[in-house]
Amino acid sequence: MVLLQRLIPYFLLITIGLSFSSLAIAIPPDIPTNVVASDGTYDDKVQVTWDDVADEDYYEVSNCVIGCTAHVVSADTTSFDYTAGTPGKAENFKVRACKNGNDCSDDSSFDTGFAKNGSAPPLFSIGSASGSPNSVVSLDLEFTAGWVSVAETTVTVTWPVGAGQLSAVFCDVSNQTVTTSVNSSCDYLANGFQMHYSGTFDMTTGLAASLQIGIPSDAPNSTQLTITVVSAKDEIGFSLPPDYISVSAGSITTLATGVSEDERAALVNFYHATNGSGWDFKDSWLSGDPCVDGWYKVICNVNNTTVTGLDLPANLLSGSLVFDAPNLSDLENLTILNVSHNFIGGQVPAELGDLAGLELLAMNGNQLSGPIPSELLALTSLPDNTGLDINYNLLFTSNAALDTFLDSKSVNDWSATQTTTPTGLNATGSDGTANLTWDLIEFSTGPGHYEVRYSTHQGAGPYTSVGTTDDKSENTIQVSGLSNGVTYYFQVRAVSIHDVNNDSDLVSEYSAEASLLMGTTQEVIFNNSFE
């Protein structure tokens, strides 16, 4: 019994030791990094390489298309030559590190590789289409892939080198059965472009992808476009072989391009109304189509079928924006109208209110005058605080709602920069001297002055100029040398001298008349003596 009592602790120690041994956690090696599969470097193999990891007994390299096949590689190497593939066929490769027979790291990221010298061959070519110069080829594609869910596909459209540069591209992916959002993009190539679609689509019902390819004006007739599916991958990232996906061209049509007759006529009328012959720059104006032939600073949509902007600041435009139809209202898709820092006069045309899509209206630094039309209240697409700039003109409004709207859209207080007609003129005086006062205009800063004149005929000349103030902060002037017994009719106007905000001297209309009948002052002497 004593011996048994002495042996029990040793049995307990052995049992506890075995228990701890059975509880030891196996730690697998690190995941291999920098896995690279060769792309056409070798005619008969794909070479896969990776960075070595510590404490591993061997590596497993897997090639995957639909399903994966693993290959065991000894620990003393970090490369594997895959020779069982079909030359020209891209496959996906991944690597993991293992020890103790079954303790393996997670898989590395995939890399795609293929055998045979050259670039990765396309899955297949859809076919070709032809387009004439100044036209748009519209191509409708339909993708089908049986039961496979495709997460990404890449399509290229190319034409012969030297056939001309791409003039317009429009990519669109549309399908009512798309299960998640689909993103599309276009990358320009030397002689074409590449489209990428990503998302998750249920390919059992097909994916409709439409695109438009603009044929440049300098391209030869019947330019051949080759449409090719370069790759397609499932949601795991596996490249799908040709027998798992098919793409057919539903239709290929050539569309006419260029703007409508009314849009072109409106631009021609705008050119003449603003004295286009005197513009600083006017490249291509009046020649051919505004979009296709690139009229200077005319902005068009992607397939050159409508005008979306006129961007002509500081280009010596003069004349007026008011002209007979077709006029600016016929540029129905205009989003930008920038004619700032020119010499345009006259009133703001009411038809600007028809351009509901305007996002920028810049007419600052001109000679525009008169009341602002209430039709501009319809320009609700102008962004607040940035969409409108009509500063440094001769404009005004008595419409409170319009004033509030313009303030909300303007870069600053638009009315505080207008050279307007002075009001409140008053004339007093006697003995050949008249004293005039008036209300200061709101724009009383910056270089400028007030000018005063008079006539002895109500509402008519001839007028005599009697002088100016030193600046726009003065609202009084004295006129001497007048004749007693004559009625004088005085007027005043504001003048803003050109500066960095406007290249023009802005001169307001003359104010309403203030009349004064010039007379003598009687001196009355009272007898204050007392008897």
Q: What are 434's strand-pairing partners?
A: 429, 479
In a shared domain, residues 289 and 197 = no
- Residue 17 falls within a domain, yes or no? no
- Which of 77-86, 124-133, 239-248, 374-383 has the weakest average pLDDT? 124-133
- Residue 22 falls within a domain, yes or no? no
In a shared domain, residues 285 and 392 = yes
| Percent of the chain at pLDDT exceeding 90 | 50
In a shared domain, residues 407 and 266 = yes
In a shared domain, residues 90 and 198 = no
Q: Which CATH number is 301's domain given? A: 3.80.10.10
Rounded alpha-carbon distances, angstroms, from residue 213 to 123, 140, 375: 22, 11, 39
Output the DSSP codes for 475-502.
-EEEE--PPTT-EEEEEEEEEE--BTTB
Residue 367: predicted pLDDT = 97
In a shared domain, residues 40 and 176 = no
Strand segments (E) across 45-191 = 46-49, 58-65, 67-74, 79-82, 91-99, 103-104, 111-113, 124-131, 135-144, 149-158, 168-174, 183-189
Q: Which CATH number is 57's domain given? A: 2.60.40.10
Last residue within a domain, chosen from 220, 235, 256 = 256
In a shared domain, residues 235 and 311 = no
- Residue 505 falls within a domain, yes or no? yes
Mean of the per-residue pLDDT values of the chain: 77
* Angle made by CA atoms 359, 365, 371, in degrees to the nearest 5: 75
Q: Which CATH number is 168's domain given? A: 2.60.40.680
In a shared domain, residues 406 and 460 = no
Q: What does the pLDDT look like over 30-52, one tens digit per residue?
A: 999 999 988 777 878 889 999 99
Give me the mean pLDDT over the 279-307 stretch: 90
Residue 237 pLDDT more than 80?
Answer: no
- Residue 19 falls within a domain, yes or no? no
**pTM of structure:** 0.58
- Residue 244 falls within a domain, yes or no? yes
HSE, CB side, 13 Å, CA atoms: give it for residue 499.
11
Q: Residue 12 has what DSSP assignment? A: H
> How far is 449 from 468, CA to CA, in rounded Å?
6
Residue 7 pLDDT more than 70?
Answer: no
- Which of 4-13, 72-81, 333-342, 458-467 has the weakest average pLDDT? 4-13
Residue 158 pLDDT more than 70?
Answer: no
Q: What does the pLDDT look like over 180-216, one tens digit per residue?
A: 334 455 554 545 555 555 544 444 444 444 555 555 5
Beta-carbon contacts of residue 407 (< 8 Å; ≥ 6 apart): 413, 414, 415
In a shared domain, residues 196 and 150 = yes
For residue 352, give its domain range: 261-417
In a shared domain, residues 196 and 70 = no
Query: Could you tell me the two tokens for 192?
Result: 């074409």
Q: Tokens 């002209």 sit at which residue?
A: 323
In a shared domain, residues 378 and 465 = no
Element (H, E) at 509: none
- Which of 134-138, 415-419, 478-482 has the weakest average pLDDT? 134-138
Residue 232: predicted pLDDT = 60
In a shared domain, residues 397 and 464 = no
In a shared domain, residues 232 and 304 = no
- Residue 410 falls within a domain, yes or no? yes
Residue 402: predicted pLDDT = 97
Residue 314 pLDDT more than 80?
Answer: yes
**Number of domain units in the chain:** 4
Last residue within a domain, chosen from 86, 113, 140 = 113
- Residue 524 falls within a domain, yes or no? no
